[in-house]
């Protein structure tokens, strides 16, 4: 059930973009995140709610502000549950190859 | 791989099918910590002001040094934190680690983990950034299956 939430949350380019922004710098407000997207405040809120429900984003209050943090644990759980079990060595080799080829291109 | 500026406040959370008491034991008893915490034995008398220490499994080396700031079983544990396993992190000031445990219904407990006050400890922030996910994933697996993560 958790895996379903996480997979669905990740299956959207805007939500992946939001996670990447939080990966760069964590603890951001809705206003900060909204400024990086061409989308209404309501739209960004909706995506953040999906990410929060999946546990990929955790919010903490700091004074008046609500800060959003990237929580990598659900992704780690999928990694440990699926990738490590089946294919870590092969996947790592291919991922490295892809990175090398794309960086040298 | 993109570059990453390690965060001065890191927040992690995980839902575990276990009671708050079981989670508390898993965080505070070395026989549990050795199974998911990079093999380390976490030891303290769990009183405010007492030392908080993490040792290598064979006790040949101390990995973590700290002090208990707040202890209220089975809800909250706050300690200071300094990683001794790397000379660069060992030279940095203490940061702060908070474990918050709350029942989430249906036999599930939510663990929220915060590592903060890392502003003056960038090497530590960078060093622990991937590690906590591994530790919390291992903790969940151990409590739910009784087995440590493979590998």
Q: Is B141 exposed, middle or buried (0-12, 13-18, 19+ CB in 10 A)?
A: buried
How long is chain A? 105
Greater confidence (A95 vs B117) lies with B117
Of B147, B128, B114, B113, the C-alpha closest to B14 is B113
* Same domain, yes or no: A56 and A11: yes
List per-residue pLDDT tens for chain A, 105 residues long.
477 889 999 999 999 999 999 999 989 999 999 999 999 999 999 999 999 999 999 999 989 999 999 999 999 888 887 777 676 667 677 777 888 888 876
A89/A47 same-domain check: no
What is the β-pairing status of strands B76-83 and B62-72? antiparallel
What CATH number is attached to the domain comprising A8? 1.10.10.10
Asked if A55 and A78 sit in the same domain, the reply is no
CB nearest B150 (choices: A24, A58, A84): A84
Residues A47 and A91 in one domain: no
Residue B3's pLDDT band, with cuts at 50, 70 and 90, is very low
Higher-pLDDT residue of B4, A96: A96
Helical H segments across chain B, by residue range: 20-28, 30-33, 87-90, 122-128, 131-145
Note whether A98 contacts B: Cβ–Cβ < 8 A.
no
Query: Stretch B49-74: mean pLDDT, rounded?
Result: 96
The pLDDT of residue B130 is: 83
Give me the domain span that covers residue A57.
Answer: 1-71
* Closest Cβ opposite residue A84 in set B5, B9, B151: B151
A52 and A80 within one domain: no
Of the candidates A69, A76, A85, the beta carbon closest to that of B137 is on A76
Contact A72 B149 (CB under 8 A): no
A17 and B CB contact within 8 Å? no
Is B36 in contact with B135 (CB distance < 8 Å)?
yes
Sheet strands (E) in chain A: 57-62, 65-70
Do A50 and A79 belong together in one domain? no
pLDDT computed for residue B51 by the predictor: 98
Write down the ipTM of this complex: 0.80
Whether residue A23 and residue B141 make contact (CB cut-off 8 A), yes or no, is no
To the nearest whole percent, how much of chain A has pLDDT over 70? 90
Closest CA–CA distance from residue A40 to any residue of chain B (Å): 27
Residues A58 and A99 in one domain: no
Domain tally for chain A? 2
pLDDT digits (tens, 9 = 90+) for B12-45: 999 999 999 999 999 999 999 999 999 999 999 9
Structural domains in chain B, CATH included, are 10-145 (3.30.530.20)
State residue A88's pLDDT score: 65
Strand partners, B128: none
Probe site for chain B from A71, A96, A101, A102 (most B CB atoms < 10 A): A71
Q: Are residues A96 and A48 in the same domain?
A: no
What DSSP designation does A82 have?
I
Tell me: pLDDT of B58 over 50: yes
pLDDT for position B2: 40
A21 and A4 housed in the same domain: yes
Residue B13 tokens, joined: 């959370």
A5 and A52 in a single domain? The answer is yes
A61 and A102 both lie in a single domain: no
- The pLDDT mean for chain A works out to 88
pLDDT of residue A105: 67
CA distance B33 to B139: 8
Say if the Cβ atoms of B5 and A24 lie within 8 Å. yes
Contacts of B11 in chain A (CB under 8 A): 26-27, 58, 60, 69, 71
Pairing of strands B41-43, B10-16: unpaired
**pLDDT score for A51:** 97
- Identify the contact set of chain B against chain A, taking CB-CB distances under 8 A: 1-2, 4-5, 7, 9-15, 112, 114, 130, 133-134, 136-138, 140-141, 149-151
């Amino acid at each position: 059930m958790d895996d379903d939430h996480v997979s669905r949350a990740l299956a959207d380019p805007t939500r992946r973009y939001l996670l990447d922004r939080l990966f760069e710098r964590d603890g951001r407000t809705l206003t900060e995140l909204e400024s990086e997207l061409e989308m209404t405040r309501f739209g960004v809120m909706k995506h953040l709610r999906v990410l929060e429900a999946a546990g990929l984003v955790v919010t903490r209050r700091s004074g008046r502000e609500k800060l959003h943090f990237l929580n990598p644990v659900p992704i780690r759980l999928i990694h440990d549950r699926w990738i490590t079990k089946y294919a870590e060595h092969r996947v790592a080799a291919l991922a490295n190859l892809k990175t090398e080829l794309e960086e040298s291109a | 791989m993109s570059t990453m500026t390690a965060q001065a406040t890191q927040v992690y959370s995980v839902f575990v099918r276990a009671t708050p008491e079981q989670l508390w034991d898993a965080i505070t008893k070395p026989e549990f910590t050795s199974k998911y915490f990079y093999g380390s034995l976490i030891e303290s008398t769990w009183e405010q002001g007492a030392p908080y220490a993490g040792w290598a499994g064979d006790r040949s080396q101390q990995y973590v040094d700290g002090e208990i700031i707040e202890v209220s079983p089975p809800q909250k544990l706050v300690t200071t934190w300094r990683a001794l396993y790397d000379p660069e992190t060992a030279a940095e000031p203490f940061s702060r680690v908070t474990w918050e445990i709350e029942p989430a219904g249906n036999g599930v407990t939510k663990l929220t983990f915060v590592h903060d006050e890392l502003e003056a400890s960038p090497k530590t922030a960078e060093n622990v950034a991937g590690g906590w996910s591994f530790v919390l994933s291992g903790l969940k697996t151990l409590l739910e299956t009784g087995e440590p993560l493979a590998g």
